[in-house]
Amino acid sequence: MPRKVNYGVNYEEDFDYYEDDGYDYDDDYAEGNGAPPETRSKQESVKAGVWRCPICTFDNEDTMNVCDICGVLRNPLVKNRVSSKENAVPFKFDSPSPDDLVLSGITPSRLRPKADTSKTLQLNIPSNNKEVSAEVKKELAAEGHPSSSTSLAKVKHDDLKDSGSSSKTRGNNGLTSNLNNMSISSKLHNVAIVKSDSATSSSKNKLQKIVQPPQAEDNFNQLNLAIVGHVDSGKSTLSGRLLHLLGQISHKEMHKNEKEAKQQGKGSFAYAWALDESAEERERGITMTVGVAYFNTKCYRVVLLDSPGHRDFVPNMISGATQADAAILVTDASEGAFEAGIDATGGQTREHAQLIKSFGVDQIIIAVNKMDTVGYSKERFDAIKKQLGSFLRACKFKDSSVAWIPLSAMENQNLVTGPSESRLLSWFQGPCLLDAIDSLQPPQRDYSKPFLMPICDVVRVQSQGQVSVCGKLERGALQTGNKVLVMPSREMATVRSLERDSQVCNTAKAGDSVTINLQGIDASHVMAGGVLCHPEFPVPVANHLELKVLILDNASPILIGSQLEFLVHHTKEAARVVKILSLLDPKTGKETKKSPRCLLAKQNAMIEVVLQGVVCIDEHSNCKALGRVSLRSSGRTVALGLVTRVIGKQE
């Protein structure tokens, strides 16, 4: 009920008196300072040329039709009714009501819901507009409202009938009719919105279950390229020089590295320092962690993984190289250096080649570096190719998948363009290193299966309460806003944002190396070596496994109870051999002997191991990334294997 109007009200009085809901203002105008409508017009025109607003009591000029303070119209109902009383036009019941116009789609576009417009409520109104949708009638009948046309006709008929009543009564009736129209209109509009929202929510649920791979934003396929090889073979120098030639390292940064390297007496390390950024790496002169860089070729967007070559950091090399689609094996052509790398007792050229093959990498480029130290000798190159080639064939690399490139990173020979050195041009007419990268076949991606990404690294921002994880999407696709399951903690999180190649993106697909910013999860529940996966498809977590292994050369015998280091994707655990099930034929894979006492070099076998802690792992037939393992002992890789069965958890 509107508040009782009192001109010249005393502001020190208690206003509770005027808010008595049980008071009948229409029956008694004399109580208080109220006045009947006939005397209000006289009070409004007390001053010549001025009319008083009935709401805020402000005196406005007579030329104004709207109150300058509150914006109320000057007697809108009185003027309209008086002018229309003489020539009142009867209401046409066959004309469409405002509600019918809204339901028939003649509502402004800014008022329509932003959901899928193809699924909003559509009502067919006939051309004569005499029928109303049966669905709307049922909706209104359930709420106790009359039809929109009847309601509107009744309101207008009452207005014409009561045109001579007081202005207060007319105002109340007009307010009531407006509220009724608004209620009916909003009810009909809500019907459309509810149906539209339900369709939208169902589509969102389907999108969460199966995220389709995004459309290609450019013509480049992503290629994860690992740089591996023996220590001091020039891997970091080759990577830094390649990035500098492709414009990924500025001249200013390169000049800074050269100056700092000369100050420490290591002028030849200037290009390597582009990736070896830590003080310890620069002081020791070796790569200790996997360096990541990006560049584009004619065919690929390349993620460069510069892996450490020292034997003490092979676990770090494994963690980075498991993401590789292809590899560049760098060898040192200088006398004695190549022989040290290929030596069976501790050569990292040999071990890295075996590890790369066990990760599923089939395409490899052999970069014979430091050819300038041997005078670009063809004989030296052929000798290296013969000896290393026979070993790669023993590792089951196909000759058609191996490319041989002689080069010199320090002299910039045969990197991004053909060689300019006449001694090399005289016998080599093959592609340069960049062309060899472009000649690699595109890797196969698995988009159909649910999203899965092993966590390579975790970055915690305590001030913002944010957790960021890095890794390569092994399968499926992901987009901003998706829910993910963090294993093995089994905690849910939401993808806040995605970064690919240090650029923010909305979607990512299998094969992309991305940084995922998570929200809604405590940082203690996210760790390197874990896995992000689809909430409805969690990865297995176990510590009792059955493996099919290959014992490498010069490995010490493996017995029941042997303690080994177990490595899978980005995690490692202490392991113990609990069973040696059988020996297998290396050619056919058939069982040749049951329960042997020990395993020797070059033997294939089935074993069971129990890990000290649980890991995220799966059978190789289900997920290759989670099914390839390495076994190490005494600082050397002794066996490579595949997970054939996840037995479960064992205390």
**pLDDT tens digits along 620-631:** 999 999 999 999
Which position has the higher pLDDT, 271 or 121? 271
Here the contacts of 586-592 (C-beta below 8 Å, separation 24 or greater) are: 586/550
Question: What pLDDT shows up at residue 120?
Answer: 36
| 609, pLDDT greater than 70 | yes
| 268, pLDDT greater than 60 | yes
Rounded Cα gap, residues 71 and 409, in angstroms: 80
219: Cβ–Cβ under 8 A, 6 or more apart, which residues?
Answer: none
Rounded Cα gap, residues 612 and 572, in angstroms: 10
| 164, pLDDT greater than 70 | no
Question: What pLDDT shows up at residue 466?
Answer: 79
pLDDT over 70, % of the chain: 69
Task: Report whether 303 contacts 294 (CB < 8 A).
Answer: yes
16-25, 365-374, 529-538, 576-585: least confident range: 16-25
Rounded Cα gap, residues 616 and 614, in angstroms: 7
Rounded Cα gap, residues 123 and 107, in angstroms: 13
96-110, 164-178, 360-374, 491-505: least confident range: 164-178
| 488, pLDDT greater than 70 | yes
Task: Report whether 317 contacts 228 (CB < 8 A).
Answer: yes
Residue 357 — pLDDT band, cuts 50, 70, 90?
very high
Which position has the higher pLDDT, 91 or 201? 91
| 648, pLDDT greater than 60 | yes
Task: Report whether 226 contacts 321 (CB < 8 A).
Answer: yes
Question: What pLDDT shows up at residue 17?
Answer: 42
Question: What pLDDT shows up at residue 334?
Answer: 93
Which position has the higher pLDDT, 151 or 389? 389
| 256, pLDDT greater than 50 | yes
Task: Report whether 554 contacts 344 (CB < 8 A).
Answer: yes
Which position has the higher pLDDT, 118 or 313? 313
Dihedral sign from CA coordinates of 606, 608, 611, 617: positive
Q: Which residues pair with 303 in a beta bridge?
A: 224, 294
Q: Mean per-residue pLDDT for 460-468? A: 75
Location of each CATH 2.40.30.10 domain in the chain: 452-533, 541-648
Q: What is the pTM of this model?
A: 0.67
Question: What pLDDT shows up at residue 163?
Answer: 40
151-155, 241-245, 641-645: least confident range: 151-155
Task: Report whether 65 contacts 74 (CB < 8 A).
Answer: yes
- Token pair 């390349």 is found at 302
For residue 107, which amino acid is it? Answer: T
| 276, pLDDT greater than 70 | yes
Q: What is the DSSP string of 513-580?
A: EEEEEEESS-GGG--TT-EEE-TTSPPPEEEEEEEEEEEPTTPPPEETT-EEEEEETTEEEEEEEEEE
Pairing status of strand 571-584 against strand 591-594: antiparallel
Question: What pLDDT shows up at residue 82?
Answer: 40
**pLDDT tens digits along 181-209:** 444 444 434 433 333 333 333 333 334 45
| 553, pLDDT greater than 70 | yes
C-alpha separations of 90 from 75, 78, 87, 153, 156 in Å: 23, 19, 9, 10, 9
Question: What pLDDT shows up at residue 230?
Answer: 92
Q: 115 is written with which tokens? A: 């959901």
The topology (CATH level 3) of 452-533 is: Elongation Factor Tu (Ef-tu); domain 3 (2.40.30)
Q: What is the DSSP string of 56-69?
A: T--EEETT-SB-TT
Rounded Cα gap, residues 347 and 39, in angstroms: 111
Question: What pLDDT shows up at residue 83?
Answer: 40
Which position has the higher pLDDT, 33 or 566? 566
Q: Which residues pair with 408 in a beta bridge?
A: 413
Question: What pLDDT shows up at residue 95?
Answer: 54
Which position has the higher pLDDT, 636 or 108? 636
Which position has the higher pLDDT, 421 or 125? 421
pLDDT over 90, % of the chain: 47
CATH architecture of 221-438: 3-Layer(aba) Sandwich (3.40)
Which position has the higher pLDDT, 210 or 171? 210
Which position has the higher pLDDT, 501 or 413? 413
**pLDDT tens digits along 297-341:** 999 999 999 999 888 899 889 988 889 999 999 999 999 999 999
Which position has the higher pLDDT, 171 or 605? 605
**pLDDT tens digits along 375-409:** 999 999 999 999 999 999 999 999 999 999 999 99
Residue 24 — pLDDT band, cuts 50, 70, 90?
very low
Question: What pLDDT shows up at residue 209?
Answer: 52
CATH architecture of 541-648: Beta Barrel (2.40)
Residue 108 — pLDDT band, cuts 50, 70, 90?
very low
Location of each CATH 3.40.50.300 domain in the chain: 221-438
Rounded Cα gap, residues 232 and 575, in angstroms: 32
Rounded Cα gap, residues 12 and 364, in angstroms: 93
**pLDDT tens digits along 44-72:** 444 567 888 887 888 888 778 788 777 77
Which position has the higher pLDDT, 316 or 607? 607
According to DSSP, residue 22 is labeled T
